[in-house]
Amino acid sequence: MSTIKIWLDPITRIEGHLAAYIEIDSSTKHVTSAYTSAMMFRGFEVFLRGRPPEDAIAITSRSCGVCGAAHANASVVANDVASGYTPTPLGVALRNMAYAMTDYIYDHSIILNMLGGPDYSELIVSKLTPSVWQEAQSTPTQYSNIHGYKTIADIMTDLNPVTGRIWRLTVEYQRIAREAGVLLYGRHSHPSTLVPGGISTDLSLAGSIFEQYYTRLTALTAWVKFVWAIWQDLHDFYVSIGYELNGKTHDPPSMFAAGWADDPEVYGSFAPTSSPAQWKTLWEHLDEIYQARLEKPGYAMGTNLVTKSVVEMNQGWLEFVDTSFYYDWYKHNVLPPWGYWIKEDPLGNPIAFGNDELMPYHPWNKTTMPKPQAINFTEKYSWDAEPRLMLKDGTIAPIETNPITQLWIDTLYATKVSLGNYDIWESNGSQLTFTLPAAQPTSTAPEICPVPGGCPDLYGELTITWKMPQYSTTIERVLARAVHLALVANIAWANLEYALAQWAAGHTHASSPWQHGSYPSFSYSIGWWHVPRGTNQHWLVQSSDKILNYQYQAPTTKNVSPRNNRCTGPYASQCTGPFEMSALNSWVTEEVPPDQWTGLDIVRAIRSFDPCLACAVHAEVKGEGGRIYKTIEKVIYNACSL
């Protein structure tokens, strides 16, 4: 047996700056060791201190140039709760409409077709897995009436970067989605209209805004059907050739989602009509608010929906730095700026369920103390921290979060979700179903079907059913993103209909009477919001309009978490993030000699979570003794400016 060692540094086309070290048994082609290392420290938590709480909405948005609205929305919810102000029902619907476009429909599209898609393109598949390419050429598609392609190979050819038709269409349709969102946000990717207690969109021309949004949503409804059908066919093909379990994460799956798209009737009912607002009132109803969302919050261990309660999950949310490039604030006796540990949430529930040794590791109590040093896989090797979830029974689990986890939680709710008279989705515990409306082509959007008249079902009603798989695997995560893209279009339609009804009834105000200086003398809160890459979480502690502590975890914080020894129960031997688990459960399908391996299946697994920017991968392939076989540099397809 020979051990092949592969450094992937940096892996881009993902959110963040990431390297991976992989060891592979050359005889079995299976990964035997895997480490992922986040390579950049930002320190937003440090320079937010002392600022007005509402500044965090704009500042945390700058964490990412692609999905800035993800942080802005999590932050604005944290500010809502800390101040006690929520939007009016119209304002809630407008927030949902904007986010559906600028992050979900825009971002899911580019992730699937421009960033992750090239890994399944003719350019890559024919070169690295020629037998798969040969099979694809003779495999007919099942959804040609929607997307127009006759064989799997036809789809792969149009996924080729830059030259492929799917790639080029994605450039056009992601622009249409962003235009729709900017009607409400003012700009993208950093919204200028999100404020505590509402959204400050100028509604003096509301009729024109709604009309332009409707026109774009109509075009995008056909687009999401097209994209779903492509990836459903690709998913079914890869499952048929034995790829289904490649890139599996934890067993049982450890699935977390916070939901998104607040119910306008529920969240809007807490909008105060005068000052001061009562922030603890929102805490008293926090579970009701989150569980009323149009997509649902919860944590599941396999098919067991352990909890739906955001309050309970927040009690047990911990963040360690055992193998991360930070000092342990608790071991160094560094208290939060106010001089004591927060031991209870605002309702009096004990943090860490009363475990005084773990309570200081809650984000409200965290102090960010960087400790830069060289990578050492036996000690510290990443700038990413180690989020873990402590359950009521004391079990400590790693956390996975992405589109598949949101669909997973929605499915386990076994419920029907509607807004007004619009039915959005329905689930029964094992599958989730929804129906997209008919949508005629528009003159302002490019033709989708590759063959004129060759997509007879593209513009009619379409019912999509997602069946919950046994595990989270590479190809299942990719399919879940495509399904979720289509589901979000349904949520956008429901909120548009609701907003139009509100406006027609004379409800023209979108915000509560919040203004600078409206915060209580002391309050602390959370803002959790599921985004294209998973759940985004913000924790805010403020005193008299100044931030005392602000901590936040992007989805990647959970997914790229390095390993530690904190987990218990079924995860005691799986105590690492989903990136590393998916790499450990990958095997090489490349049909080239080991000295020519590129790490295709590893980066497919990682990109199935959250690819972000298209740049390049640099890899060193080493044999026994560290001898370098070959240095590989992939072609750069830079989509950063699109």
- Over residues 542-552, the pLDDT tens digits come to 999 999 999 99
Q: How many CB atoms lie within 10 A of CB 517?
A: 9
Number of H helices, E strands in the chain: 20, 20
Residue 494 is encoded by which pair of tokens? 């429901």
Least confident span in 187-196, 241-250, 595-604, 624-633: 624-633
Least confident span in 12-26, 83-97, 482-496, 563-577: 12-26
**Domain definitions of the chain by residue range:** 3-238+250-636
Cβ distance 594 to 4 under 8 Å? Answer: yes
CA–CA separation, 460 vs 441, rounded Å? Answer: 11
C-alpha closest to that of 14 among 107, 98, 99, 101: 107
Q: Is the pLDDT of residue 508 over 60?
A: yes
End-to-end CA distance of the chain: give it in Å, rounded. Answer: 46
Mean pLDDT of 390-405: 98
Mean pLDDT of 242-271: 97
CA–CA separation, 557 vs 386, rounded Å? Answer: 7
Q: Is the pLDDT of residue 274 over 80?
A: no
C-alpha closest to that of 255 among 287, 297, 221, 224: 297
pLDDT computed for residue 641 by the predictor = 25
Does 567 show up as a binding residue in the annotation? no
Q: How far is CA 288 from the centre of its chain?
A: 23
**H helices of 55-163, where?**
55-61, 68-83, 89-99, 106-110, 122-128, 130-137, 144-147, 152-158
Q: How many CB atoms lie within 10 A of CB 470?
A: 14
Does 640 show up as a binding residue in the annotation? no
Beta strands, E only, 477-586: 523-531, 534-543, 546-553
Q: How far is CA 344 from the centre of its chain?
A: 29
At 14, the pLDDT band (50, 70, 90 cuts) reads low
Least confident span in 190-194, 274-278, 435-439, 444-448: 274-278
Higher-confidence residue: 574 or 275? 574
* DSSP state letters, 458-478: SSS-EEEEEE--SS--HHHHH
Residue 244 is encoded by which pair of tokens? 């289904």
Q: Is the pLDDT of residue 626 over 80?
A: no
pLDDT computed for residue 311 by the predictor = 98
What is the helix, strand, coil percentage profile of the chain, to 5? 40, 20, 40
pLDDT computed for residue 618 by the predictor = 27
pLDDT computed for residue 622 by the predictor = 41
CA–CA separation, 11 vs 17, rounded Å? Answer: 7
CA–CA separation, 210 vs 97, rounded Å? Answer: 10
CA–CA separation, 260 vs 99, rounded Å? Answer: 9
Sheet holding 546-553, edge to edge: 523-531, 534-543, 546-553
Q: Report pTM.
A: 0.94
pLDDT computed for residue 359 by the predictor = 98
Cβ distance 169 to 159 under 8 Å? Answer: no
Question: Would you give the DSSP letter of residue 587?
Answer: B
Higher-confidence residue: 503 or 47? 503
Mean pLDDT of 488-492: 98
Could you give the 3-state DSSP secondary structure of residue 421?
A: coil
At 636, the pLDDT band (50, 70, 90 cuts) reads very low
pLDDT computed for residue 194 by the predictor = 97
- Which residues are paired to 419 by β-bridges? 422
At 41, the pLDDT band (50, 70, 90 cuts) reads low
At 619, the pLDDT band (50, 70, 90 cuts) reads very low
pLDDT computed for residue 13 by the predictor = 54
- Over residues 108-132, the pLDDT tens digits come to 999 999 999 999 999 999 999 999 9
Residue 242 is encoded by which pair of tokens? 């034995």
At 615, the pLDDT band (50, 70, 90 cuts) reads very low
Could you give the 3-state DSSP secondary structure of residue 439?
A: coil
pLDDT computed for residue 15 by the predictor = 53
Treating both helix axes as pointing N-terminal to C-terminal, what angle do 206-240 and 474-504 enclose, rounded to 10 degrees?
160
Give the H or E element holding residue 9: strand 3-11
Does 67 show up as a binding residue in the annotation? yes
Q: Is the pLDDT of residue 628 over 60?
A: no
C-alpha closest to that of 23 among 596, 607, 584: 584
Give the H or E element holding residue 423: strand 422-427
Cβ distance 87 to 267 under 8 Å? Answer: yes
**Mean pLDDT across the chain, nearest whole number?**
91
pLDDT computed for residue 16 by the predictor = 56
pLDDT computed for residue 173 by the predictor = 97
CA–CA separation, 387 vs 243, rounded Å? Answer: 30
Cβ distance 408 to 578 under 8 Å? Answer: no
pLDDT computed for residue 627 by the predictor = 43
- Over residues 335-387, the pLDDT tens digits come to 999 999 999 999 999 999 999 999 999 999 999 899 999 999 999 999 999 99
pLDDT computed for residue 214 by the predictor = 97
Does 188 show up as a binding residue in the annotation? no
Mean pLDDT of 501-516: 95
Least confident span in 197-206, 217-226, 267-276, 316-325: 267-276
C-alpha closest to that of 301 among 231, 253, 236: 253
pLDDT computed for residue 45 by the predictor = 72
353-362 CB contacts, 8 Å cutoff, 24+ apart: 353/315, 353/316, 353/390, 353/392, 353/394, 355/390, 358/318, 358/390, 360/329, 360/330, 361/318, 361/319, 361/320, 361/330, 362/317, 362/318, 362/319
Least confident span in 34-43, 235-244, 320-329, 619-628: 619-628
pLDDT computed for residue 46 by the predictor = 76
C-alpha closest to that of 405 among 469, 463, 312, 310: 469
3-state secondary structure 159-177: CCCCCCHHHHHHHHHHHHH
CA–CA separation, 524 vs 625, rounded Å? Answer: 53
pLDDT computed for residue 123 by the predictor = 97
Burial-class residue 77 by CB neighbours within 10 Å (0-12, 13-18, 19+): buried
Placement of tokens 């607002």 in the chain: 277
Domain 3-238+250-636 has CATH 1.10.645.10: yes
At 510, the pLDDT band (50, 70, 90 cuts) reads very high
CA–CA separation, 433 vs 412, rounded Å? Answer: 13
Cβ distance 534 to 558 under 8 Å? Answer: yes
